[in-house]
């Protein structure tokens, strides 16, 4: 028969085995290619907020790589992020990687966490901004051009000849 202490020891051994496996996965994660691709990505190298915060692209990319390791991201995801930074993602890649959108959203979270921890501005550089109504040029339109056409009077819906 199993005593409560035997069960506790077995559970503890199982937990240690699981935690050890997670550490092995993180230890085996190769982020060198990710860091190299990230450091060369113009989106990163030309980001003015990095310079303002006096953070090098390498320090930023190493931070993101660390977040990938902390989150136990699989190597296939890291490899896809390498392709993203190298702008090598093809339609075939996207089709073969059904959770690409989820990965990109998660990556934005890792990047934002690094921006915050490194003191980099969390501006909306990755958000597409649409002009407000006031910013749209008038281009010579008058209110009459923009007004809806008057409906035809009753019995007058035939085209004029």
- Confidence label for 121 from pLDDT (cuts 50, 70 and 90): confident
Looking at the predicted structure, is the pLDDT value of residue 152 above 70? no
pLDDT of residue 30: 96
Report residue 48 as tokens: 């003015």
Q: What is the mean pLDDT of residues 100-128?
A: 85
Q: Cα(80)–Cα(99) distance, rounded to whole angstroms?
A: 11
pLDDT of residue 139: 56
Nearest residue to 84 via CA among 2, 68, 18: 68
Q: What is the mean pLDDT of residues 81-90?
A: 95
Q: Kindly report the number of other CB atoms within 10 A of residue 56's CB atom.
A: 13
pLDDT of residue 160: 58
pLDDT of residue 38: 97
Find the range with the poorest average confidence among 9-13, 120-124, 139-143, 157-161. 9-13
Looking at the predicted structure, is the pLDDT value of residue 141 above 70? no
* Between 38 and 134, residue with greater pLDDT: 38
Q: Residues 89-99: pLDDT tens digits?
A: 999 999 999 89
Specify whether the CB–CB gap between 57 and 38 falls below 8 A: yes
Q: Residues 31-75: pLDDT tens digits?
A: 999 999 999 999 999 999 999 999 999 999 999 999 999 999 999
């Amino acid at each position: 028969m199993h005593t409560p202490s035997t069960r506790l020891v077995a559970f503890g051994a199982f937990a240690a085995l699981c935690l050890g496996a997670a550490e092995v996965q993180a230890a085996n994660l190769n982020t060198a290619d990710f860091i190299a691709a990230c450091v060369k990505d113009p989106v990163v190298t030309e980001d003015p907020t990095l310079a303002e915060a006096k953070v090098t692209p390498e320090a930023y990319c190493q931070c993101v790589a660390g977040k990938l390791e902390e989150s136990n991201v699989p190597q296939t995801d890291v490899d896809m992020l390498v392709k993203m930074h190298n702008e090598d993602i093809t339609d075939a890649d996207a089709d073969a990687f059904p959770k690409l959108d989820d990965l990109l959203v998660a990556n934005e979270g890792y990047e934002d966490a690094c921006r915050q921890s490194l003191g980099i501005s969390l501006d909306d550089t990755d958000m597409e901004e649409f002009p407000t109504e006031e910013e749209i040029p008038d281009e010579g339109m008058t209110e009459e051009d923009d007004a809806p056409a008057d409906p035809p009077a009753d019995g007058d819906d035939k085209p004029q000849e």
